[in-house]
Amino acid sequence: MPDIPPTRPTLPGPPVLPLSGTSGIHWPAIGGEDDARLFALQFQLQDSEWWPPERLLGHQLEQIAILLRHAARTVPYYRDRLSAFAAETALPPSIEEFRRIPLLRRTDIQDFGEALRSESPPPDHGRLVHIRTTGSTGRPLQVVRAALSSTISRALAQRYHLWHRRDFAATNVTIGTLGIAGLPAARENGWVPGYQTGESFRLDATLPINELLDWVIRADPAYLQAHPSMLLGMIHRSREIGARPKSLREVRTFGEALEPALRKVCRREWEVPISDIYSANETATIALQCPEQPHYHVQSEAILVEVLDSDDRPCAPGETGRVVVTPLHNFAMPLIRYELGDYATVGGACPCGRGLPVIDRIVGRYRNLVVLPDGGTQFPDFGAEPVLLDLPIRQFQLIQKSRERIDVTLAVHRPLTADDEENLRAFFARAFRHRFLFPIAYVDDIPSLPGGKYEVFRSEIADATDGAG
């Protein structure tokens, strides 16, 4: 028998049942095929999250052995590169052997795209889905995965809601990609996979902040999901108009690196906590915030995550390095040791007792590194003090143009005084640990990247080969 975790109540609030897909059956629910698989996965996830890290890694490497064999046999790009793993009798690699496989970079996917696709993806993994992303560099990237990936993503989303004991009967608003031209918002079936839930709405992330906040205030949800930059924009707007979503209990952020300062700002202004999700378009869910700590648990049942230093050695807890991922179940387009372009800080064992590895913080992308006059690089630190909230700034963006100059763009709700501008420059000098030239320009609105993402800081002189993800 596997170690069975202690029995714990899974749902808070009013009683909410799983969806039943069988005629005449209300309770206990007997779900349709998709939901039955979802709960079968959840049953296993609720056990494996308590396993020690070595046991999780052992099963990951068994799964990876199958993926490597499939890649060596059916993926042109990997035919020669992984020939050592092609034999039916090959044992699972040790982690050291696995780490000798060269990294796959974003530019490799762009250059070899078709050759990275399997010539015979398993038919029972479902139909293929094409995911196209365009980075700020403008060079698109296409990844293919089977419908099976979304079954796994749904199980992880369900786990996330169960972990955080959310009230499934409550209302939810998600601001993201809507995919319906000309519609600002749409009602969704539910917001927790496999369960009957309260109302759920999806808003188009490309709407102006003012309109988004109006929608959110009208819908008055208990839960809100949004990009960090959008949340900050709405909080600013909310101060400006003196109105805020009244019933809100928690905000879930995703899609951009979350500044720790935003947690404080959200607590101070809206009196609710933030829970963050770490995902990428190419791979779906990577890590989810622990229900008890403000750090992340890697979703080891779906993805192997490495964090590597500049010599490609694994980082120890407390160290920051490059994130390299291997999704365990993408047989349509295996991404083996794919360097995402993110930096993250490794965490130690979590006091909650889960064995899923810990990431302390997602720091950002290469292009979010500032280049100092001596050529050194570091991530800016906008600090814990929400100085920016005390100035009438709705949105801001900084773009490094040279080793001495960072252009500042502001959208404001009243003009800044000369003193305000000086305070702002002093704050940025602390954040960047150097007194750059900070020319300030004023605009009505700062446009976001495709998909509604937005970057507070970007360097045009950092060695940026990555895109937005």
Q: Give whichever of 158 and 229 is closer to Zn ion, judged by the CB atom.
A: 158
Sign of CA dihedral 245, 251, 252, 258: positive
Which residue, among 207, 136, 151, has the nearest Cα to 329 in the 3D structure? 151
Tell me how far, at minimum, the Cβ of 291 lies from Zn ion, in Å.
7
Tell me how far, at minimum, the Cβ of 294 lies from Zn ion, in Å.
10
Q: Contact 282/332 with Cβ under 8 angstroms?
A: no
Q: Give whichever of 161 and 458 is closer to Zn ion, judged by the CB atom.
A: 161
What are 78-84's contacts with CB under 8 Å, separation 24+? Answer: 78/116, 78/334, 78/336, 82/336
CA distance 223 to 237: 19
**Binding-site ranges for Zn ion (CB under 5 A):** 290, 350, 352, 354
Tell me how far, at minimum, the Cβ of 379 lies from Zn ion, in Å.
24
Q: Contact 354/441 with Cβ under 8 angstroms?
A: no
CA distance 161 to 243: 28
Tell me how far, at minimum, the Cβ of 349 lies from Zn ion, in Å.
9
Tell me how far, at minimum, the Cβ of 344 lies from Zn ion, in Å.
16
Q: Give whichever of 166 and 244 is closer to Zn ion, judged by the CB atom.
A: 166
Which residue, among 259, 201, 292, has the nearest Cα to 387 in the 3D structure? 259
Backbone angles phi, psi at 430, to 5 degrees: -70, -45
Q: Give whichever of 125 and 161 is closer to Zn ion, judged by the CB atom.
A: 161
Q: Give whichever of 354 and 458 is closer to Zn ion, judged by the CB atom.
A: 354
Tell me how far, at minimum, the Cβ of 170 lies from Zn ion, in Å.
24
Q: Give whichever of 161 and 354 is closer to Zn ion, judged by the CB atom.
A: 354
Q: Give whichever of 352 and 372 is closer to Zn ion, judged by the CB atom.
A: 352
Tokens of 237: 């707007």
Tell me how far, at minimum, the Cβ of 354 lies from Zn ion, in Å.
5
**377: β partners:** 371
Tokens of 132: 């196209």
CA distance 227 to 277: 10
